[in-house]
Amino acid sequence: MTPTLKKLLFFGVVLYLILLGAIIYERYRLLTNDQTASQTESNPIQIDQGTPLPQEATPQEETLPESVRMETPFLSQAPFGIWDDLHQETCEEASLMMVHYFRQKKEFLSLQQANLELVDLVTWQSARGYKVDVAVAELAEIARGYYGLATGRVIVDPTVDQIKKELAGGRPVIVPAAGRELPNPYFTPPGPRYHMVVIKGYDAAGFIVNDPGTRRGKDFRYNYDDLMRAMHDWNQDDINLGRKAVLVFD
């Protein structure tokens, strides 16, 4: 065998071995991939869905006390029982004074002192352009200007439960009303066209009020329907068309 033939034979054997190795490697790779795929199918990947978000708690309905009664000082709009032109129209001022003194944790020192303050309050607001009758929003302005009481809040179309919530929170409620719709036997007939009272509590029978329109107005009671029906803010044309609204101070 010539040297050239030997070289060709050698290279042929080497080439054969290389091809054989490549074939064996490719078969091994395919077999390995098949096994991996099979394991993946039998053991699916677990996807972390994350920590479940907490569900929003359902708000619990607030439970109101069965009854509330605040010790709100009483003041008749005519402290000495003299129902002159001025004192016929001071239910708003008397109502504001009762709430103010309650917030200050004070009592009226005397009828003289209370009447002087009542007259001064009327004079103050008259000098600033307020009319004889004022709506609850105007009364909130007067409270801010005269007493520095800037926390007045008017609630329009209040429900009985909304009023109860204010009372349960320790806040007396000033209510404007068509006075002749209020069933108060102590009013001189036909009763006031426009009136204000202070709700100081409630129980199963109705609202407990301080009604400044009579000297018997302390702890007077109106049932819920009567007071809610009579509730009307000031309306110059027709008091019965006045909106439903109340005034509270935070």
For residue 212, with 0-12 CB atoms within 10 Å meaning exposed, 13-18 middle and 19 or more buried, which class applies? Answer: buried
Give the position of tokens 């359902």.
Answer: 58
Residues 6+ apart with CB under 8 A from 79: 111, 114, 115, 118
Q: Model confidence at 48, in pLDDT bands (50, 70, 90)? A: very low
- pLDDT for the residue numbered 61: 66
- Residues 73, 149, 207, 185: what is their CA dihedral angle, to the nearest 10 degrees? 60
- Range 68-249: architecture per CATH: Alpha-Beta Complex (3.90)
Given a cut of 70, whether residue 20 has pLDDT beyond it is no
CB–CB of 180/191 below 8 Å?
Answer: yes
Q: What is the pLDDT of residues 213-223, one digit of tens each?
A: 999 999 999 99
Given a cut of 80, whether residue 238 has pLDDT beyond it is yes
Q: What is the pLDDT of residues 91-147, one digit of tens each?
A: 999 999 999 999 999 999 999 999 999 999 999 999 999 999 999 999 999 999 999
Q: Model confidence at 25, in pLDDT bands (50, 70, 90)? A: low
Closest C-alpha among 199, 193, 203 to residue 227: 199
CB–CB of 231/173 below 8 Å?
Answer: no
Q: What is the pTM of this model?
A: 0.76
Residues 6+ apart with CB under 8 A from 186: 213, 214, 215, 216, 217
Cross-strand bridge partners of residue 199: 173, 209
Q: Model confidence at 62, in pLDDT bands (50, 70, 90)? A: confident
**Angle, CA of 61, 156 and 137, to the nearest 5°:** 135
- pLDDT for the residue numbered 30: 52
- pLDDT for the residue numbered 49: 47
